[in-house]
Structure 1
C-alpha cells in the first residue's frame, strides 16, 4: 500500500491471497473476471478488509443511476496526473467487487471507486472517502431498488456530516436534496435531460417549478443552488469563470456532463482543469460501451442503456435516420426482472429508423413499439438482425445482460 505502514493484518493478507486465488480460478473456468466471487471470499475471511485496504488511500466514490462507470474512468484518468490510481474499472460496484479492486492496488495513491446507489452509504462508512461524486438519481430496476426518493433519503442520511467533499449535480433536485446534509459541497451544473423523477419536491412533496434551467419548490422554498462549475456547450466553466474545452472520444452531451463533474473532482486533488480534460481524451470506450466493432462485414456501434433516463440520452447520440437501429432487452437478475420501465421511454424518437428487436424480452419491447407507432421487425438474434438491416453503420442499443450477450457474440 502507499504510505509508510502496512495496514494489513496477517488475517487481511490471507483474505486478499484467498480472494485472488478464487478470482483466478473463476477466470480460468471462463466465468468472467472473478472480481465479485474473489471479493466475497475475501470479505468472509476478514469482514473489515474493505476498511483496511482503503485506509492509506485517497478514496473517491462515484454514484449515480447513469454514468457511474464512465465518470469513474474519466476521474481515474485525470487523477493519474497526480499519482497511481486503483479503480474498479469493469464496473463491479458492490462491496465484494470494490474489495477485489482495492486488493489489486498495492502502489496506488488514489482509489476511484464506482458504487451502486444502494450501497453508497455503507461503502462511504467503510472507506472514509476524501471526495464523493453524485451525478443523478432516476428510476432503475424497479423490482429491487427502492423508489428514487427513498434512495435519495438513504444518501442524505448516510452522508450527513461526512468529512468528504461532495461534488454534486445541482440540476437534479434529488441529488441536491441528498447532498444538502453534507457540510462541504461543490455544485456542478451538469444538466438533466430526464426530469420525470423530479417533479415533486423531495423535501416537502410540493410541485416543483421549472422555469428554463432553474428549479425550485413553490411551497417550501427548496431551490437549485448556485453552481461553481458548469457544463456550457463544449466547455467546462471553472469557479473563476474560465472556460476549458472538452475534447472527448466518447459521444454525446451526457459524457460532456460526466467530464464536467470529473474536472471538478480532479480539482479537489490539485489537478488543473486543462490537465484533467486533456487526460480524459485518452478514454475511447468504457467496458465495451461506444465501441464500434466489425461483425458480418458491418460496423456496429454498441451502446448501453439500462433505464428510461439512459435510453433518452442514448437516443440523442445515434446517427440520424435512416440509420438502422437494433434494440435488445433482457430481464435477468442483473437487469431487474420488471420490464414496465419500457413504457417510460419515448420510442417515438426512433421514427424514421429501421428498427430490429432482439433479446429475451423482445416481445415486451415489440408491444411497446407497436403502441408508439414504430415500424420494426422482431428477430431471433443479432445475426438475423444484421442480415436484415439496410446498409450503413448499425446502432445497437442494449440493456445490461443483453449488452454482455452482444459483446460475447460480436467478439468485443
Structure 2
C-alpha cells in the first residue's frame, strides 16, 4: 500500500493545456492575494478548472492521496494526518481548509516533490473528488446535521457516500461508532473500523438501513428491525490511549484540547498505518500541532486572553462546550448565516445552550438577535454587543472563550489580527 519515493509526478508530466491552466490559476491567485481577498486558492482553482476540467485528475496522478471527510473535525484531522505522514515522505495538503474541487486543485497543483496528498473534502463533493484523485485511503469521521440548505439531510448524504464509494479501491477508515458513517462505508471492499466515539447522537436514532429505531446499550448500537449493528473495531480510543489492532495501547499527548481531538488522533493513527507509519511515531509527530487555522488559538486583546473556538453545528457546539473553562468564565458567542455558513439557522434550537447558565455571555454577529432569542429561552443571562473589543471591556476576570461559526470565526480572527 505504500508509495515509492519516486512516485511524485514531475511538473513536466502535465500536458500543455494543464500547464497553461496551472499558470493561469496561480496568476489569478496572486492577483487575489494582492487585492487582500485571502489566499486566492479558490479563485485560482476555479480559473484553472475552467481552462482544464480534467486538471484535478492530472495534478493528483503522481501522489498517494488521502481524503478526509466529515461534518466536524476534518480540517484538524487533515492537519494531523499530514503531520504524521511526513514521517514517510513529503506531503502536500489543503491546510487552510479550501475543501471543494477548486481549492483542492490549487493545493495539489503546488505539490512539487510531494509523495502524499492529504486532502480535506467537503462532504457534498467527496464522491467527485474520490473519482478524480484515485485515493489510496479515505477517512470518514462523522455525519450530523449541518447546512441543510446546501448539504441535504444526513441520511441522504450517507446514501450518496454509500453509492459513490461502493467501487473504490481505496482503504476506507471509518468511525464504527457513527451508524450513518458505518452504513455509508459498509458498501466498500476494504474498511478499517475505528471506535472513535460519537458524543452527539441526535442524528443517529433512526436506522439508515431500514428506518427502524436504533438501540444503544452502552457503547454498542444496533437496529432490532433489520440487524444492522456496530462492527467490531480494529482501532479504538480508550481514555487517552490509541489501541491498535494487536491490542497495544499508545498514549496520546496532544496540545489540541478535548475528547474530539483524541478521537481525531485515533483516526489519524489508523489512516497513516495504511502507509506503514507506526502509531508511536504518528502520535509523537501529532504532538507538535498547537492550533489549526486559528482553532484553539489564544490571543491577547487589549491585554486580555481570548481563546478562539470554532463551532458550526449542534454536534460542534456540544464538543466545544466541553472545552470552555467552568463558570463564571466569560463567553462570547458569534453567529453568521452567510452562504458559507448555511442560511438556515434553525440548528440554533438543537444546541444545548443551557450549559452556559452561570457564565457571563456576550452575543455578537450577523444573527445575534436570533441567538439572543435562543438564549432567552434557555435561561442564559447575556448582553448583545457589536465587537470582541466591547466584550473584553465588559467581561469579568478570566480567560474569555470566544465561540463562533464559520464566517463569524474568520471575522473574529481578522478583528483580533491573528496571522493566517
Output the TM-score relative to the length of structure 1.
Answer: 0.99
Contact 2:18 2:55 in 1 (8 A): yes
Question: What is the CA RMSD across the aligned residues, in angstroms?
Answer: 0.9
CA distance in 1, matches of 2:25, 2:224: 53
Contact 1:143 1:338 in 2 (8 A): yes
Shift of 1:280: 0.4
SS at match of 1:175: helix
Q: Which of 99, 117, 121 is matched with 1:93 structurally?
A: 99
Q: Which of 20, 33, 38 is matched with 1:14 structurally?
A: 20
Contact 1:61 1:133 in 2 (8 A): yes
Q: Which residue of 2 aligns with 1:222?
A: 228
Q: Which residue of 2 aligns with 1:47?
A: 53
Contact 2:254 2:287 in 1 (8 A): yes
Q: Which residue of 2 aligns with 1:340?
A: 346
Shift of 1:4: 7.0
Q: Which residue of 1 aligns with 2:357?
A: 351
Contact 2:10 2:113 in 1 (8 A): no
How many residues get paired?
A: 412
Q: Which of 174, 185, 191 is matched with 2:197 structurally?
A: 191
Q: Which residue of 2 aligns with 1:307?
A: 313
Shift of 1:7: 3.1
- Cα separation, partners in 2 of 1:5 and 1:66, compared to 1, 3 Å: closer
- Cα separation, partners in 2 of 1:383 and 1:11, compared to 1, 3 Å: same
CA distance in 1, matches of 2:27, 2:317: 38
Q: Which of 135, 146, 167 is matched with 1:140 structurally?
A: 146
Q: Which residue of 1 aligns with 2:325?
A: 319
Tell me whether 1:71 sits opposite 2:77 in the alignment: yes
Q: Which residue of 1 aligns with 2:128?
A: 122
- Cα separation, partners in 2 of 1:389 and 1:298, compared to 1, 3 Å: same
Shift of 1:213: 0.7
Q: Which residue of 2 aligns with 1:213?
A: 219
Q: Which residue of 1 aligns with 2:410?
A: 404
CA distance in 2, matches of 1:178, 1:288: 31
SS at match of 2:181: helix
Q: Which residue of 2 aligns with 1:294?
A: 300
Contact 2:193 2:235 in 1 (8 A): yes
Contact 2:67 2:121 in 1 (8 A): yes
Output the TM-score relative to the length of structure 2.
Answer: 0.97
SS at match of 1:143: helix
Q: Which residue of 1 aligns with 2:378?
A: 372
